[in-house]
Amino acid sequence: MPIFQYEAMNSTGQTVKGKVEAESNEEAVTKIRSMGNFPIKVKAKAGKKKAAPSESQSDGPKGRKRTAGKVATKILAVFTRQLSTLQDAGLPLLRSLRILQEQQKPGPMKVAARMVADDVESGTSLSESMGRQSKAFNRLYVNMVRAGELGGVLDLILKRLADFMERAEALKRKVKGAMVYPVTVLTFAFLIVAGLMWLVVPKFKTIFDELGAELPNITKVLVGISTWMAPNFNPNPDEGETFWIGGIFIIIASIIGLVIGCRVARMSQQGAYFLDRAKLSIPIMGNILRMTIITRFCRTLGTLLSAGVPILEALSTTAQTAGNLVYERALMKVHGSIKEGESIAKPLSQARVVDSLVVNMVDVGEETGELDQMLERVANDYEERVDTAVGSLVSLLEPVMIVTLGGIVGFIVVALFMPMIGMLQAVQ
C-alpha cells in the first residue's frame, strides 16, 4: 500500500508531521483527520511511481512542468462562481473543470484551468492542484478550497469565495475610480501650466526686453520661474551662455527617480515597511487606506473562519494577504500571542492597528462563538465608511483644484498684462 507523508495541525495549533498508509490521497486525508489533525500538506512518499506529464503540462524537451500566469481577480471570481454552480448542480469535479476550461478565452485562466483539470484527473486533490498554480490561485484561495474539500461543502465554500472576491474587487474599483478624476485634472493642469511657462511667457519676455520697460515684481517672479523651467537648446558659447536642460525636465526626472527609488526600496523588508508606514501617514488618503486594509482583514479572516479553517492558519493567511507590511507584522504578532494561549482581542488591541470598535466586536464574537459573523459586520461597516470617505474626498478635491488652477492661471495673466497696461498708459 502506498505511503503518504503529511504535515498537519493538531487541536492545539501545533504542527505535526508523520506518515500514513492509504490507497489514495483522499483516503490519506480522511485517516489524518480521524487522528484529530487538520492536514496542511499530503504527498506520496518519494519513490512512488508518478504519471508522466501530458503534452499540455510539459514545456520543452525535458517535459518541465509549466505554471499559469497571474489571473485578473474579476476573471477568477467568474470562474469560481461558475465552478460553484456546477458543483451545486451535482456534476463531477473533473467534468466541471473541463467544461470551464473550454469556456475560457485564451490566456492565463484557460492555462490554469487545464493544468488543474489534468492534475485532478491524475488523482491529485483540487486544493493541491490549485496550490501548484500559485500565480493564478493565491494562498487564501487554496486554503478555502482545502477547507471545502475536507468539510464536504466545496460548492458552498466556492460561493463564499466568489462573493469575497467580488466585494474586494468592487471596493478596489471604487477607490481607483474616485482617484481617476483628480489625477486627470491635475495632469492636464500641469501640462497647461508647463506649456504657458515654456512657450508663452518667453515670448512676452522677449517683447519686454526689446521695449526696455521696468517690470513689476509679480512679472519678474513669473519670468524667473519661466526662465528656470524653459530649456535652452541653442547655447551660444561666444556670448557666455551655458546649456540648460530646463526645470521642466528636472521635475519629470525627479518624478521618474522617485518611482524607481520606491521600487528599489520595495525589494528590501525595511524599505517596504517604511513605504507602507509612510502611506498610512498621508493626510486623508492614509485614513482611507487604513480603513480599506481593515475591511480586507476582517472580511478575509471572517471568510476563512466560516469555512472551518483553524484560527492560527486563518490569521497567517490573513496577514500575508493584508497588502501592507505594517498590518502584516502586527497580525503575525497576534498570531504568536494566540499560539501561546491568549485570545484574539487582547493582542489585537496591543498591536494598535485597528480601532477600539474592531477590538470590541472581536471580543464579543469570541465570547458568543460568532467571530466570523462579527468580522463580517465590521467589514460591511468599514466598507460603508470607505465609500463615504472617498465620496467626501472627491467632493472636497473638485473645488480645491478649480480654485488652485484658477489662481495659477490668474497669476500668469495678471503678471503678463500688468507691464503692457503700464506701457499703454505711458504712451497715452
User: Tens of pLDDT along 148-166?
Assistant: 776 677 787 888 788 878 8
> With contact defined as beta carbons under 8 Å apart, do 334 and 316 qualify?
no
- Give the CATH number of domain 61-137; options: 1.20.81.30, 1.10.10.10, 3.40.50.920, 3.40.50.1980: 1.20.81.30
| Summary mean pLDDT of the chain | 78
Cα separation, 389 vs 240, in Å, equals 56
Q: Which three cell numbers stand for residue 347?
A: 493582542
Q: Which three cell numbers stand for residue 201?
A: 511667457
Q: Which three cell numbers stand for residue 274?
A: 517604511
> With contact defined as beta carbons under 8 Å apart, do 31 and 22 qualify?
yes
Residue 301: how many CB atoms within 10 A of its CB? Answer: 27
pLDDT value of position 224: 83
Mean pLDDT of all residues in 284-307: 82
pLDDT value of position 325: 85
> With contact defined as beta carbons under 8 Å apart, do 116 and 126 qualify?
yes
Mean pLDDT of all residues in 127-140: 82
Coil/strand/helix, residue 367 = helix
Residue with cell 477590538: 359
> With contact defined as beta carbons under 8 Å apart, do 85 and 75 qualify?
no
The region of weakest confidence among 234-243, 247-256, 407-416 is: 234-243
pLDDT value of position 12: 62
What one-letter code names the amino acid at 219?
Answer: T
The residues, any chain, with a CB within 8 Å of residue 183's CB and separated by 6 or more, are none
Percent of the chain with pLDDT over 90: 0
Closest CA to 113 of 123, 103, 128: 103
Q: Where are the domains of the chain?
A: 1-46, 61-137, 161-428
Query: What is the maximum alpha-carbon separation in the chain?
Result: 111
> With contact defined as beta carbons under 8 Å apart, do 117 and 99 qualify?
no
CA 216 to each of CA 270, 408, 414: distance values in angstroms, whole numbers, following the listed order: 51, 17, 10
Half-sphere exposure of 136 (CA within 13 A, CB side): 24
Closest CA to 51 of 67, 40, 65: 65
CA 187 to each of CA 63, 103, 190, 276, 405: distance values in angstroms, whole numbers, following the listed order: 50, 41, 5, 25, 11
Phi-psi region of 39 (alpha: psi -120 to 50; beta: other; left: phi over 0): beta
Which of the residue ranges 9-23, 99-113, 243-257, 383-397 has the most confident prediction, judged by mean pLDDT? 99-113
- For residue 225, what pLDDT band results from cuts at 50, 70 and 90? confident
pLDDT value of position 409: 82
- For residue 398, what pLDDT band results from cuts at 50, 70 and 90? confident
pLDDT value of position 58: 43
Residue with cell 506649456: 195
To the nearest 10°, report the CA torsion of 365, 141, 91, 52. Answer: -150
Tell me the β-bridge partners of 16: 8
Question: Does the fold of domain 161-428 match that of domain 61-137?
Answer: yes
Cα separation, 6 vs 17, in Å, equals 6
Residue with cell 557666455: 240
Where would I find the H helices in 196-284?
201-211, 217-229, 247-265, 269-280
Mean pLDDT of all residues in 223-245: 60
Strand bridging mode 15-21 / 38-44:
unpaired
Mean pLDDT of all residues in 263-269: 81
To the nearest 10°, report the CA torsion of 251, 252, 254, 258. Answer: 140
Cα separation, 280 vs 395, in Å, equals 21
- For residue 62, what pLDDT band results from cuts at 50, 70 and 90? very low
Residue 246 has pLDDT above 70, yes or no: no
List the CATH code of the domain at 161-428: 1.20.81.30
DSSP string of 13-65?
Answer: S-EEEEEEE-SSHHHHHHHHHHTT-EEEEEEEPTT---PPP-TTTEETTTTEE
pLDDT value of position 133: 83
Residue 210 has pLDDT above 70, yes or no: yes
The region of weakest confidence among 133-137, 307-311, 327-331 is: 307-311
What does the chain come to in residues?
Answer: 428
What one-letter code names the amino acid at 256?
Answer: I
- For residue 235, what pLDDT band results from cuts at 50, 70 and 90? very low
Half-sphere exposure of 152 (CA within 13 A, CB side): 2
Task: Name the residue with higher pLDDT: 275 or 250.
Answer: 275
